[in-house]
Chain A
């Protein structure tokens, strides 16, 4: 029992990332009818916002400190981050320690702007073209973004640790009434899961309770009619694109302490997120979220030793196998709507 709970928890963090990326993909697909292969790059760029923020905060100036000598007796160079200089040692160190959560402040505007620019500058021209063209152009964009990041930040993963206070592990087993040390779970993963729930809840609330969201939902159902009502649907969809980019970016920022960001993480997640969208049902937001968590958890179960002994390699392919079974038995996905992408 405790082992099963532990595996479920282990699947949650990946599941959260899948769900957040798939949510954005579905939003874009549902509102704009565009298949965005560059969405994984948004996740990746979000993660590199955390790297950038970390580097910005660590910008330092160097002085010769005559009170300290190196082994030759010369005064030692001491570099102090500006942050520590400005805010004092203790506060500055705390800010540096919390650089990942602070990166959210950078990631949100960057991602929204990137999303809007992308939609206005490129995607807009592809609404009326074949899906194959949309796939191809966003695929090209994904490569370009990925390669730019590679050139700027290099090919190696860059560690971006969680704040010390949140870096440890929690003994959830003891909290839930199991024996101590049976369910030990890193605190940051729990935070990531909770964070994703907040974001998902926020997006749903936004779509459910605001006029803006109502129009967007109506547009997802029937774009032409809403357009006929004289509502400027295009501008709202541009904003949706920015929102979807921001959601993916936030997912990326907060994921960095779990896996050090590298330039190809976007594509790795994108392929799986597409599978998630297809399993959840194209155009269904609840489907995307549910399938994201479901597949994350199943993947985690697949990597249990007991399961791997039974079916070797299942951890590598379980998501794909599930996707294939779902598509063959329920072509519209788990919660797909009728009439969406049924060519």
Chain B
């Protein structure tokens, strides 16, 4: 079914179920309890997790499969956002045309940048993509201000032509929507004394991300995906096997660019504001981190990485000295102060420091990411369970 094997189908079904149930699962603590700060919050954060999961899954098709490290994917994210916003301004606040254009423009830019960058490999490729992204960022900031509205960013306003739906609005700019269903629409459901919120925007992002996950799964299992892994493994042999690596690479680059464009378009659809910051190299670095943190080259890794980083970013930025003092209040006063001093630089506005450290730790100790870490744990427990049984032959024969 759906071109997938049984195991993949179950896998996909689980991902779909988790996505649908996330508003409940990720907010397990009652709102007024002390642990509420660990709730994922809603709906902004969960939208962001779904969007960044798309971004990372797409990036993984390039980096995870082929090993080509792009440092410029934020450019496509930004292009996607700007494209979507222009559709919102010119055509309609219905997000569908905007998102379609975002995907197309992400792909077009990726085609142009990839065509040039893929003439080189290794670090040259990384540096070229980085240079292109910085160039786009600089342009968005300066000359292209008529298109990007420079530093203040682009957003819909009442003066927009909006050919399709301008007539229906008066007074203020209506919210982005799909055929009238506003993305900000939230239904509250009382259940067992708890209030759960179900937000339209999240479900749009979530369902699209499941669809994108499915497409990525198909690519992973396809001959095309196998060729991409072969590029990473031994490009020479691939050439001597009669395969032209460059179009394969370019296709992978464009696909990942379209994923990034889609993510950018969705970002604009959820919060119709696009600024050049979205294209900066730090944003490119973030998606790299998500992918390697979860596990580059694995299906689920980038999703985990995106969720992990966006979740903790949200949590960490909420924790200030006051909260820290609350945590450590069981300790004697001097110890409490010490602990607060130690943790302070990493919390609140220090999130980037935590991110940088995390980056280093993962690369140094866990190159396979969380998935690899989980596998190691599993192997460890399994080995302990049958201590005297024969060990699985993992050691290379050579």
Contact = CB atoms under 8 A, between A and B. Distances in A.
When A and B assemble into the complex, do they touch directly, with CB atoms less than 8 Å apart? Answer: yes
A98 interface: no
Interface string A293-330: 00000000000000000001100110011011001100
Contacts of A35: 123, 126
B308 interface: no
Given A133-B363, A136-B292, A151-B353, A267 B126 contact: no
Contacts of A323: 128, 131
A323 B125 CA distance: 12
Contacts of B123: 35, 131, 135, 282, 341
A147 B357 CA distance: 10
Interface stretch (B132-140, B164-172, B197-205): B132-140
Contact of B142 (A316, A320, A343): A316
A341 B120 CA distance: 10
A45 B373 CA distance: 35
A132 interface: yes
A140 B360 contact: yes
A328 B144 CA distance: 26
B319 interface: no
Contact of B131 (A130, A282, A320): A320
B122 A274 contact: no
Which 6 A-B pairs have CB atoms at the shortest separation, nearest pair first? A313-B143, A143-B356, A140-B359, A147-B353, A140-B360, A144-B356
Contacts of B132: 320, 324
Most buried by A among B139, B143, B281: B143
Contacts of A324: 116, 128, 131-132
B240 to A, nearest CB: 16
Contact of B360 (A141, A274, A278, A331): A141
Given A316-B138, A316-B143, A274 B281 contact: no
A115 to B, nearest CB: 17
A312 B63 CA distance: 35
A316 B356 CA distance: 28
Interface in A136-186: 136-137, 139-144, 146-148, 151
B313 to A, nearest CB: 14
B128 A135 contact: no
Interface in B283-309: 285, 288, 292
B363 A140 contact: yes
Interface of B: 63, 67, 69, 71, 116, 119-124, 126-128, 130-132, 134-135, 138-139, 141-144, 281, 285, 288, 292, 345, 350, 352-353, 355-360, 363-364, 367
B189 to A, nearest CB: 41
Given A135-B69, A144-B357, A271 B130 contact: yes
Nearest to B288: A136
Contacts of A132: 63, 67, 69, 126
A317 B120 contact: no
Most B-side CB within 10 Å, residue of A147, A267, A321: A147
A125 interface: yes
A343 B355 contact: no
A331 B139 contact: no
Contacts of A317: 135, 138-139
Given A133-B363, A141-B356, A275-B127, A343 B144 contact: no
B120 A327 contact: yes
Interface residues of A, number: 40
Nearest to B71: A135
B135 A320 contact: yes
Contacts of A321: 135
A271 B367 CA distance: 25
A316 B144 CA distance: 11
Contact of A328 (B116, B139, B288): B116
Nearest to A324: B116
A41 B69 CA distance: 21
Contacts of A122: 360, 364
Contact of A316 (B130, B139, B353, B367): B139
A133 B367 contact: yes
B360 A320 contact: no
Contacts of B355: 143
Contacts of B71: 135
18 contacts: A132-B69, A136-B69, A137-B360, A139-B359, A140-B358, A144-B357, A144-B360, A271-B131, A274-B130, A274-B131, A282-B123, A313-B139, A313-B143, A316-B138, A316-B143, A320-B135, A331-B120, A341-B123
Contacts of B352: 143, 147
A131 B122 contact: yes
A113 B262 CA distance: 46
B359 A143 contact: yes
A331 B126 CA distance: 14
A271 B359 contact: no
Contacts of B63: 132
B133 to A, nearest CB: 9
B350 A151 contact: yes
A267 B356 CA distance: 14
B281 A148 contact: no
Nearest to B131: A320
Q: Max chain B CB contacts within 10 Å: which of A122, A140, A312?
A: A140
Interface string A268-292: 0001001100100010000000000
A151 B353 CA distance: 9
B135 A341 contact: no
Given A274-B130, A341-B123, 12 more contacts: A132-B67, A133-B367, A135-B69, A136-B292, A140-B357, A140-B358, A143-B285, A147-B356, A271-B281, A316-B138, A320-B134, A331-B124
Interface string A8-39: 00000000000000000000000000010000
A208 B350 CA distance: 45
In this complex, the member of B120, B124, B358, B367 whose beta carbon has the largest number of chain A beta carbons within 10 angstroms is B124
A274 B350 contact: no
Given A136-B359, A140-B357, A143-B359, A331 B122 contact: no
